[in-house]
Amino acid sequence: MVKSVGKPVFRSPSDDFSLYMGDALKLLADFPDGSVDMVFADPPYFLSNGGITCRSGRRVQVDKGGWDRSEGVEADFRFQAAWLAQCRRVLKPNGTIWVSGTRHNIFSVGFAMQRLGYKLLNDITWYKKNPPPNLCCRYFTHATETILWAARSEKSRHFFNYALMKKANLGKQMQSLWTILPPRNSEKLFGRHPTQKPIELLERIVLASTQPGDVVLDPFSGSGTTGIAAARHGRRYIGIELQPQYLDLSVQRYLSETHTHVTDEVVDVERPPVASGLEPLPMLLTPH
Ligand SMILES: C[S@@+](CC[C@H](N)C(=O)[O-])C[C@H]1O[C@@H](n2cnc3c(N)ncnc32)[C@H](O)[C@@H]1O
C-alpha cells in the first residue's frame, strides 16, 4: 500500500483497506506515480444550488452539503481537471478510471478527461427504475446517471473481464445500459450518506476492470461503497474523504463486511449514533 503518504485515519490489520481524511486534491499530490490499478470517482455533481426535489414523497430542497455547491462553470471545470490530472498521474500505465455524474458535471468531467489524454472507453448509462417524480413538471423525470470509463492513455492495454461480464449477463455481451436499483436499506444499516451508490454498481465495476490484489482508489469515498466492493472481491482499497462522519460510516461498513474485530490497534474514541437494535461499535477514527 501507499506508505509515503501521511498517516491514514484507518488501516485494516491486513493493510488492504486504508482511509485518508482530507481534501483529495492535496492528499493525492503525495501519492506516488503509477501506484494504482483502478480509480472509481463519484465527485461532487455541483447540484445543490437551491433546486427542489422529492424525497420520500415530500418536497425538499436539494442540499447534499457545502461540498456539492457550484462555484460557476469555469471554477467547477478547474476542480474536475485538477483531481483528474492527479488521478492520471497515480494510475499505472494500463490502469483505468470510472467517473460518475449527471448533466450537472459530466460534460465538464468528460472534456477534462479528453484534454488530459485519457482514452474514453465507454459511457455507461445507469438506469434507475422508479426515480422520484419531477415536481415542477417542466422536465422529463431524471432517471439515469452517466459513468465514464477511460484508460490512462491511448497506449494503455486496459484490463476488461469480458468473459465474466458476459456470464453475468446470462451468456450475452453486456451492454452499456445498466439497470440497477438504488441502495437497499440493508446497505444503510450504519447511517445515511446523501449520495450513496448501490453496492451492486460498484461490484460490477470492480469485477469488470480489476483482478484480485489490484489497488483501487476512490478520491471521494463517501460512505466507502467502493471499498466494500473491493473488500468483497479481494482487491486492496484506498479511500479519501473530507467528512469524518462518512469515514466513520465506511469503517463500520468495512468491519461488518469483513467481520473484523476491534483490537488495540484501532483507537477507541467517542462513538457516533448507530441504528437502533445494533451492537454498538466504538468510533474508530481519530484525526492524527
Ligand atoms: C458523491 S459523494 C460520494 C458517495 C460515495 N460514492 C458513496 O457511495 O458513498 C462525494 C463525497 O466526496 C466528498 N468530497 C467532496 N469534496 C471533496 C474533496 N475535495 N476531497 C475529498 N472528499 C471530498 C464529500 O464529502 C462526499 O462524501
Q: What is the pLDDT of residues 22-40, one digit of tens each?
A: 999 999 999 999 999 999 9
Handedness of CA 225, 5, 64, 114 (dihedral sign): negative
Q: Is 16 in the pocket of ligand 1 (CB under 6 A)?
A: no
Handedness of CA 210, 212, 215, 218 (dihedral sign): positive
How confident is residue 270, by pLDDT bands cut at 50, 70 and 90?
Answer: very low
HSE-up of residue 66 (Cα within 13 Å, Cβ side): 2
Q: Quote the pLDDT of residue 70.
A: 83
Percent of the chain residues topping a pLDDT of 90:
74
How confident is residue 3, by pLDDT bands cut at 50, 70 and 90?
Answer: very low
Ordered by start, the domain boundaries in the chain are 10-258
User: Mutate which of 25, 40, 67 to test ligand 1's pocket (most atoms within 8 Å of Cβ)?
Assistant: 67
Q: Quote the pLDDT of residue 54.
A: 62
Q: Quote the pLDDT of residue 4.
A: 55
Which residue CA neighbors atom 15 of ligand 1 most closely? 67
- Whether the Cβ atoms of residue 218 and residue 202 lie closer than 8 Å to each other: no
How confident is residue 48, by pLDDT bands cut at 50, 70 and 90?
Answer: low
CB atoms inside a 10 Å sphere around CB 233 = 16
Q: Is 223 in the pocket of ligand 1 (CB under 6 A)?
A: yes
CATH class of the domain whose range is 10-258? alpha beta
Which residue CA neighbors atom 5 of ligand 1 most closely? 222
Enter the DSSP assignment of 171: T
Q: What is the pLDDT of residues 70-121, one digit of tens each?
A: 888 999 999 999 999 999 999 999 999 999 999 999 999 999 999 999 999 9
Rounded Cα distance, 143 and 127, in Å: 6
